[in-house]
């Protein structure tokens, strides 16, 4: 049992279905799986600015058409934003300048996603990327096992190129269940050689349809061995989908989390999770 505290820090009006967080220089970058904006929230002034990720951006897009931006990572001066790959129109990678928030490029990475599916022996109905970590050397993609196969897994793309990776690896990660419902990855971040993650339990056998939420757990994976270190349930009612490191000490890690409310309500709840280590 890991000691932790979880509290609601603040609410941001103007963002719905928050799915990814990234704290950089006191600025909280936020993406939504319902829209096509990158939001920059100034922590000190509480000022929110939306930046378009597409030519015709929208805050609420119907489910069958949305690009489903679920994962965000960074290295250097670039933000990398990924679609989940759970349908054909959710295969985008958008590169954004971390300072100006201008789109650098947009690419279709369906070829990479298809290679991942073949390697892991899962079909498109069980493929759902919800977290990505880029170390500057390798990429780590987290597949949420909320399809019928229930297959949570970690893909490692060796090398910086996602178009022509030098090597692709997959490791299935078995997570606990609650009330017969398995937890599935929803986001991750690298801290001191470990991949800290969130995983939510949602009563649905589909990567497309939402279901009743039974809570969220956190945990860590050894980045070199790709093995599970620990898991700890932190809520029995919240579906947390975004995770970013706030600060760390030798004895404690502090993260910021966002909750996906699976609705059209334009409000993002930001929580603070403190984890003893």
Domains and CATH numbers, the chain: 4-276 (2.120.10.100)
Query: 7 - beta bridge partners?
Result: 272
Task: Say yes or no to pLDDT of 78 above 90.
Answer: yes
- pLDDT tens figures, 220-243: 999 999 999 999 999 999 999 999
Q: What is the rounded distance in angstroms from the CA atom of residue 98 to the CA atom of residue 255?
A: 20
Residue 150's pLDDT is 86
Which range is least confidently modeled, 16-30, 54-68, 108-122?
A: 54-68
Q: Please report, rounded to a whole number, the percentage of residues in the chain having pLDDT higher than 90.
A: 77
Which range is least confidently modeled, 86-100, 104-118, 149-163, 204-218?
A: 204-218
Task: Say yes or no to pLDDT of 264 above 80.
Answer: no
Task: Say yes or no to pLDDT of 207 above 60.
Answer: no
pLDDT band at 164 (very low <50, low <70, confident <90, very high): confident
Q: What is the rounded distance in angstroms from the CA atom of residue 71 to the CA atom of residue 97?
A: 16
Q: Across residues 61-83, what is the average pLDDT?
A: 93
Residue 166's pLDDT is 81
Task: Say yes or no to pLDDT of 208 above 60.
Answer: no
Q: Across residues 136-155, what is the average pLDDT?
A: 93
């Amino acid at each position: 049992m890991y000691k932790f505290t979880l509290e609601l820090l603040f609410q941001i009006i103007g963002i719905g279905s928050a799915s990814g967080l990234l704290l950089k220089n006191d600025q909280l970058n936020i993406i939504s799986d319902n829209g096509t904006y990158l939001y920059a929230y100034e922590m000190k002034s509480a000022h929110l600015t939306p930046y378009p990720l597409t030519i015709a951006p929208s805050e609420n897009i119907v489910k069958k058409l949305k690009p489903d931006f679920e994962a965000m990572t960074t290295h250097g001066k670039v933000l990398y934003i990924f679609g989940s790959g759970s349908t054909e129109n959710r295969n985008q990678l958008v590169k954004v300048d971390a300072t100006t928030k201008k789109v650098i490029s947009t690419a279709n990475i369906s070829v990479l996603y298809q290679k991942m599916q073949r390697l892991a022996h899962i079909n498109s109905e069980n493929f759902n990327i919800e977290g990505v970590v880029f170390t500057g050397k390798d990429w780590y993609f987290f597949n949420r096992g909320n399809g019928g196969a229930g297959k949570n897994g970690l893909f490692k793309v060796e090398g910086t190129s996602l178009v022509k990776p030098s090597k692709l690896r997959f490791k299935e990660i078995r997570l606990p269940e609650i009330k017969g419902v398995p937890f599935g990855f929803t986001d991750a971040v690298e801290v001191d050689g470990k991949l800290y993650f969130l995983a939510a339990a949602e009563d649905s056998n589909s990567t497309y349809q939402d279901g009743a939420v039974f809570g969220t757990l956190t945990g860590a994976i050894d980045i070199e061995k790709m093995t599970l270190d620990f898991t700890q349930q932190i809520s029995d009612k919240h579906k947390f989908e975004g995770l970013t490191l706030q600060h760390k000490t030798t004895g404690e890690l502090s993260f910021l989390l966002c909750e996906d409310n699976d609705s059209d309500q334009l409000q993002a709840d930001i929580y603070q999770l403190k984890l003893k280590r």
